Amino acid sequence: MTELFTNARALSEHKKSMLVEMLDSVFDNLDLTKTQRERIETAYNTVGSYLASCDHPLLKEAQIYPQGSMRLRTTNKPLYQEEFDVDLILFLPNAGHATRDEIVKVVKQHLKDNEVYKELVEDLPRGLRINYKGDYHLDITPAKEYDLPGLQGHPLWVVDKHTGFKESNPEGMAQRFEKACSMLPVIRRRHELLEALANKSVTELPDQSKKKPLSRIIQILKRHRDVWSQQGENLHADFRPISVIITMLASLAYVDVVKSGKEYESEFDLILDVIELMPLHIEINFDGVFVTNPTMRPENYAEKWNRVERQEGQKYRNAFYAWHQAAVDTFERLASANNQGMDNVFAALSGAFGEKPVLAAKNRIIEAINENRNNGNLRVALGTGALAAATAGKVHAASRVVSPVESVKRNQFYGD
């Protein structure tokens, strides 16, 4: 590894673990709720059933399934007033000889025949959108069977406005992603503040009930991309890296790190290593720039990076590297803020990931600390300042310390 993260890597293991806990708390507030997920699943199941019920031969036995972040479970709540973007594949097993225009015309007309959908349908370069304005939209990509057997997943020809059809294999990509997620690095997780305040037991490996490290890393990077692209007069905003490129590069970097056998005290250095290695997985040769689907090599997620007209390709490439440097700078700022007090850490987190989820995380931490303080369970390690929660005669330290502990006095508001 090169030293992209001089300040961040120099932090103590305790401070690194604390930052990971704070990031986890922030992103718990950005996950889709069960209700939101169920509502979206109901919407696309209803659309799928309706399309499959059409009498037209092209739609006979049609199947609909999610792709992208909904399939990978790396969705974040949208920034500001943006809508949830739900990407779906509409597989048409009986459309083998149909043209792109024939397929799109039949699907669009069937949606237009429905009283619910007829006012919501919009055209896309690769299909149609059902826009539930102000909430979420379903982007439906019709597809037919790919004519080369033996590939992992579900290889497809998806409709494309410019070329008629494009090779794609979102299910194969998702299966590779799930395999990467199942590869867990050795992380000696320490019993830190949030777990201590919740009186949880120490775990040596990542909690299987929690989001896997790779999924969380991608959520962090995608949210950072969203906030970064809307900061000030960002000249790269229109060319910001798309989610699938961030996901693929982070996945490849993560697999490299896990296979290396490197051991971590917390996930913090794991995040840094993944960010650092991401650009190394961009393929550059005489034919152009490639970030490909490993289960469908012709599918180049970075195809826009090769556009010559108006230097668009160069703008996309510049935007990626500008965002990547901004991600490095963010973790360096978090490290510097950590040495200046918790308020500075929360301020740095807000600047990188948005004020609302960070404020919710801050309030949760403060509430937990106050509750334990008022119950007489909060301790501080003398000489380190590390907080701890004491229950049932035990002291659960927020860091691995050998210093004696002293009770933190509860607040007394005299005169109330």
DSSP state of 251: H
CA distance 111 to 63: 15
Measured CA distances, 348 to 11, 209, 358 (Å): 16, 29, 10
Strand (E) or helix (H) holding 7: helix 6-10
What's the first-to-final CA gap in the chain, in angstroms? 57
The answer to whether the beta carbons of residues 366 and 343 sit under 8 Å apart is no
In this prediction, residue 395 carries a pLDDT of 38
- Greatest alpha-carbon span in the chain: 83
CA distance 404 to 416: 34
**Residue-wise pLDDT tens digits, 14-51:** 899 889 989 999 998 888 888 888 888 888 899 989 99
In this prediction, residue 412 carries a pLDDT of 39
In this prediction, residue 202 carries a pLDDT of 33
In this prediction, residue 368 carries a pLDDT of 76
Ranked by mean pLDDT, the top range of 130-144, 152-166, 400-414 is 152-166
CA distance 84 to 66: 13
Comparing CA positions, the residue from 236, 277, 238 lying closest to residue 254 is: 277
Write down all domains in the chain, each with its CATH number in brackets. Answer: 6-31+176-360 (no CATH), 34-168 (3.30.460.10), 365-407 (no CATH)
Give residue 385's pLDDT band: very low, low, confident or very high (50, 70, 90): very low
Average pLDDT, the chain: 85
Long-range contacts of 107-111 (CB under 8 A, 24+ apart): 107/51, 107/59, 107/140, 107/142, 110/50, 110/51, 110/54, 110/56, 110/59, 111/51
In this prediction, residue 410 carries a pLDDT of 45
In this prediction, residue 200 carries a pLDDT of 40
CA distance 226 to 230: 7
The answer to whether the beta carbons of residues 239 and 225 sit under 8 Å apart is no
The pTM of the full predicted model, rounded to 2 decimals, is: 0.86
